[in-house]
Chain A
Amino acid sequence: MSTEPFKNVYLLPQTNQLLGLYTIIRDKNTTRPDFIFYSDRIIRLLVEEGLNHLPVTPKTVATHTGEDFTGVSFVGRICGVSIVRAGESMEQGLRDCCRSVRIGKILIQRDEETALPKLFYEKLPEDISDRYVFLLDPMLATGGSAIMATDVLIKRGVKPERIYFLNLICSKEGIDRYHAAHPDVKIVTGVLDKGLNEQKYLVPGLGDFGDRYYCI
């Protein structure tokens, strides 16, 4: 079971398996196929954890032997929103659990003139305000683009408490900055890194996730 080390932060259980998976994806000598495969394994765990927080309602079904079984069923609809490009790596993990899930995209890049993040592109489901949203971005370092992406979602009518921000790696500093802007959004993560260096990169980190997943 996950833990909640800080309010609205859900950390995957730190099992032998998870610790070992992180060792593999952090290691700079890991090849790209292995990086992709083992990142995908972690992403699957994050998605399952996120889905666990969605509301359910009691439901009774008739079984094959004609007896009743009382379990639960999902209520509410979801969608995924990935922050281009690295966040797109997490879409398949979501699709593997929810076959026909709608996926919106947001592109945010650093403006060369102002050095601030700037929204370049957004494509979101029209009824997104009725949905639970899984915001996908593998790394939470300073939280700049995630904050801006969440702004976009809220501007489209999504309730903050219905947003789940899934990332593979984050730091306390990033969490604090993000929650200062959006305290009600729930963060689902797999590891808390020590902090950020002067260049605002995570330490010890795992390099540039998008580059390692797509290019290098």
Chain B
Amino acid sequence: MCIRNETIENSGDNMTVEDTSGNTRVPRYQPPWNTPYIIGIGGTSGSGKTSVASQIVTAINVPWTVLLSLDNFYKPLTPEEGKAAFENKYDFDNPRAIDMDLAYHCLRSLKEGKCFEVPVYSFVNHNRVPGKSIRIYGASVIILEGIYALQDVRILDLMNLKIYVDADLDVCLARRLSRDIVERGRDLDGCLSQWERFVKPNAVKYVRPTMRNADVVVPSMSDNRVAVEYLVSHIRSKLRAKSYEHVKELNLLEGTDLTPLDENPRVHKMHKTPQVLALITMLLDKTVCREDFIFYFDRLSTILLSKVLENIPLEGHTEIVTASNNAMANSAMINFDKVAAVDLIRSGDCFIHSLRKTLPNVPIGKLLIQSDSYTGEPQLHCEFLPRGINKFKKVMLLETQIISGASMVMAIQVLLDHGVSVSCIDVVVFTATEQGLRRILNAFDGKVNVYVAILVTTEQLHNGNKEWCLSRFVERLYFGCP
């Protein structure tokens, strides 16, 4: 087994971007799913590609590893072709049977960080299942598996690692027979004739030559444990390098602009009225009991959410007749149904009680982003977003504490990838560090609005006694578990 000329793209080389005037500026944020690590696994039918792929998926254990099969990209058959297929006379093993354009388009979209609907193919009906597809978004590792995974030049160019699984054709036949008969409901004679007529000739003519496109050739199932372990440790080291680049880039987002955040019109600090300050004092007091903490946090967050809504865009003006039967021209119209919220599990959940009291019908999306304990890299684990989230005029993004800002930067990117306009996003947060806020503002051209109750500046942190803003005490006390 050998590994050669593998490429890994990271943005480390173009950290700063030259604009037309020749000045360097802070780079935009590149989420890890804009540089997914793409692995191709090819090999003849029945060679054990799926087994190698699943061993890799299990071993690297990265959230959002997507295992794609080229089987999903079979072309839909015409009625005549369908008839031939049912009589085992259709050549599924010819490269032309696969929609390589669509497969390429899919990988391209995922590589650009966009969401893609992968069709679902039915082997029983020999057609795409109508109205059914698998939505893929935010993958940081993509494994494309299929007999022709290493054939199309365009697809090869997108791959970081190309693996060919090699097996003796007799072994392949044996595996194929048991799979097609048991799992795909075919009969023995049909399978044998298909093997002789299509599978074997195509394997020899088209599949085996793709071996030369591979970086690595892995022997088939029975004795490939060492080879796969070796591959996995190689992939791990590449992924770790990618994580460090991501973290490094996140840190760079802080920028060098030192204009005080108080002067930034996008940063809306809560007025420290006597009430607000008294509430904050009770919340920061370590002797506060949980019951009080929850009550006072709900109160404070209600005030904060109301502040966010103060700026709700008007729907125009209209004439109404009041219940006292007086006409009123030019009455300001607002529509709270144009507001959506997305919370970051678990800390953003602390806002939900107040949010429901303020906007009972508000659609609420949820994102789970966690930091890897080893690299500190934020990772998107899952995203549940309201349908048509790009249609809302205001999307509140809720998190109780911003410390490094990394997960919030990632959350904003998820919304942008789903078509939400950056100026519609309102970040709502209880405590935030200056460093975290600067990253968020810089990552998106300073266009995101931030509503914050307590902002701790870097200078205050250096002077000591504000360390509490670096501990996630809010969610711990609100939910009562560590």
Task: Kindly supply a per-residue 1/0 record for chain B positions 44-70, scoring 1 wherever the CB is within 8 Å of any chain A CB and 0 otherwise.
Answer: 000000000000000000000000000
Asked whether B352 is an interface residue with its Cβ less than 8 Å from the other chain, the reply is no
- Which residues of A98-116 are within 8 A (CB) of B? 99
Provide the residues of chain A in CB contact with B318, threshold 8 Å.
23
Provide the residues of chain B in CB contact with A68, threshold 8 Å.
465
**A205 to chain B: closest residue by CB:** B324
Spot the interface stretch: A44-52, A127-135, A150-158: A44-52
- Which residues of A27-85 are within 8 A (CB) of B? 27-30, 37, 41, 44-45, 48, 51-56, 59, 61-69, 71-74
Q: Establish whether residues A65 and B467, one from each chain, have CB atoms under 8 Å apart when the complex forms.
A: yes
Provide the residues of chain A in CB contact with B331, threshold 8 Å.
19, 22-23, 26-27
Q: Establish whether residues B274 and A72, one from each chain, have CB atoms under 8 Å apart when the complex forms.
A: yes
Task: Kindly supply a per-residue 1/0 record for chain B positions 252-290, scoring 1 wherever the CB is within 8 Å of any chain A CB and 0 otherwise.
Answer: 000000000000000000010111011011101111000
Provide the residues of chain A in CB contact with B123, threshold 8 Å.
none
- Interface-central residue, B280, B287, B320, B326, by most chain A CB under 10 Å: B326
Q: Establish whether residues B358 and A16, one from each chain, have CB atoms under 8 Å apart when the complex forms.
A: no
Q: Establish whether residues A71 and B278, one from each chain, have CB atoms under 8 Å apart when the complex forms.
A: yes
Q: Establish whether residues A26 and B323, one from each chain, have CB atoms under 8 Å apart when the complex forms.
A: yes
Provide the residues of chain B in CB contact with A69, threshold 8 Å.
281, 284-285, 465, 468
Nearest CB in chain A: distance from B449 CB, A: 14
Task: Kindly supply a per-residue 1/0 record for chain B positions 457-482, scoring 1 wherever the CB is within 8 Å of any chain A CB and 0 otherwise.
Answer: 00000001111101101000000000
A66 to B286: give the CA distance in the assembly, Å. Answer: 8
Provide the residues of chain A in CB contact with B312, threshold 8 Å.
16-17, 20
From B295, B303, B324, B467, A207 is in contact (CB under 8 Å) with: B324
Asked whether B223 is an interface residue with its Cβ less than 8 Å from the other chain, the reply is no
Q: Establish whether residues A202 and B278, one from each chain, have CB atoms under 8 Å apart when the complex forms.
A: no
Q: Establish whether residues A64 and B281, one from each chain, have CB atoms under 8 Å apart when the complex forms.
A: no
A59 to B35: give the CA distance in the assembly, Å. Answer: 51
Nearest CB in chain B: distance from A116 CB, A: 23
From B278, B282, B306, B334, A20 is in contact (CB under 8 Å) with: B334
Q: Establish whether residues A15 and B284, one from each chain, have CB atoms under 8 Å apart when the complex forms.
A: no
A72 to B272: give the CA distance in the assembly, Å. Answer: 11
Asked whether A212 is an interface residue with its Cβ less than 8 Å from the other chain, the reply is yes
Asked whether B321 is an interface residue with its Cβ less than 8 Å from the other chain, the reply is yes
Q: Establish whether residues B303 and A48, one from each chain, have CB atoms under 8 Å apart when the complex forms.
A: yes
**B286 to chain A: closest residue by CB:** A64
**B477 to chain A: closest residue by CB:** A64
Nearest CB in chain B: distance from A78 CB, A: 12
Q: Establish whether residues B278 and A203, one from each chain, have CB atoms under 8 Å apart when the complex forms.
A: no
Q: List 27 A-B contacts (CB under 8 A).
A: A1-B271, A13-B310, A15-B311, A17-B306, A20-B314, A20-B332, A22-B331, A27-B320, A28-B321, A29-B321, A30-B323, A44-B306, A45-B306, A53-B274, A55-B274, A61-B285, A63-B285, A64-B473, A65-B471, A68-B465, A74-B278, A99-B295, A202-B324, A203-B324, A203-B326, A204-B324, A206-B323
